[in-house]
Amino acid sequence: MSERKKLVAGNWKMNGSLAANQALVQALRQGVGQPACDVAVCPPSVYLGQLQQLLAGQTAIALGAQDLSQHEGGAFTGDVSATMLKDFGVRYAIVGHSERRQHQGETDLQVALKVRRALAAGITPIVCVGETLREREEGLTEFIVKRQLSAVLHLNGHAINETVVAYEPVWAIGTGQTATPAQAQSVHAVLRAQLRAAGAQAEHVRILYGGSMNAGNAAELLAQPDIDGGLIGGAALKAPDFLTIVAAAA
């Protein structure tokens, strides 16, 4: 039995509206009960204030952000700092999602700097790593995820114990093509071994799986010894599906 409490985090990506968010959170609050795992929702940053209010008065569902700036503050138009997120009760922040690496050109170093900012503000970063289909086909999966995590380890040292890692194979995100439980488990084991070798408390660090996890496949993935929860995209926008995943994690 793992000593790690599972975490299920919903990445809403660039979806939602005031009305849709209200309906979704209402359904989640009604259905979540007292979950045996940690639960978070990560809306677009413009809705964090709304979500803070919608989630007030309960502790079952925490608030997360999808990104944060690597800078403390100042002339960085459009960016949002860790301190600002903290102001809105943000508990988790996704960092280095493959969509940001791909579309915004985020580098391993930037990701590591963002992790440092989050930790300094008391926000738990959810650090995403994962290989593309081509990298997998070329046998580079291990090399890529280790390179991505090693940048974060290098800059943050033992603070890595306070982070969450998410293995998200790029080819599985939003495609409906989930990694098999065995494929995911084997990469999770590699990442945990890397954490251990770096002197981290590897048995305490949660490693989530993300990539087309849904109500139908969650239980099998979450039963793997090194899979400590899920980072959920599409299925996080449907309350019954997200709640089924939360139940599977518990």
**What are the angstrom distances between the C-alpha of 51 and each of 5, 58, 88, 155?**
24, 12, 9, 32
Strand partners, 82: none
Any catalytic annotation for residue 168?
Answer: yes
What is the closest distance, in whole angstroms, from the C-beta atom of residue 75 to ligand PEP in the complex?
A: 30
- The residue within the footprint of ligand PEP, chosen from 67, 135, 168, 228 (CB under 6 A), is 168
Strand partners, 230: 8, 209
Task: Sort residue 115 into left (φ over 0), alpha (ψ -120 to 50) or beta.
Answer: alpha
Any catalytic annotation for residue 103?
Answer: no
CB-based closest residue to ligand PEP: 233
- The residue within the footprint of ligand PEP, chosen from 213, 218, 239, 243 (CB under 6 A), is 213
* Strand runs labelled E in the chain: 7-11, 38-42, 61-65, 92-95, 124-129, 164-167, 206-210, 229-232
Q: Which is nearer to ligand PEP, 21 or 130 (CB)?
A: 130
Q: Which of 99, 106, 168, 188 is catalytic?
A: 168
Are 88 and 67 in contact, with CB atoms under 8 Å apart? no
Q: Which is nearer to ligand PEP, 12 or 202 (CB)?
A: 12
Backbone angles phi, psi at 137, to 5 degrees: -65, -30
Stretch that binds ligand PEP, among 22-30, 151-159, 167-175, 196-204 (CB under 6 A): 167-175
Q: What is the dihedral of CA 227, 199, 96, 219, to 10 degrees?
A: 0
- The residue within the footprint of ligand PEP, chosen from 8, 10, 11, 66 (CB under 6 A), is 11
- The residue within the footprint of ligand PEP, chosen from 157, 174, 216, 240 (CB under 6 A), is 174
What is the closest distance, in whole angstroms, from the C-beta atom of residue 110 to ligand PEP in the complex?
A: 18
Among candidates 186, 190, 228, which has minimal Cα distance to 209? 228
Q: Which is nearer to ligand PEP, 131 or 200 (CB)?
A: 131
Residues that bind ligand PEP (CB under 6 A): 11, 13, 168, 173-174, 210-213, 231-235
Q: Which residues are known catalytic residues?
A: 97, 168
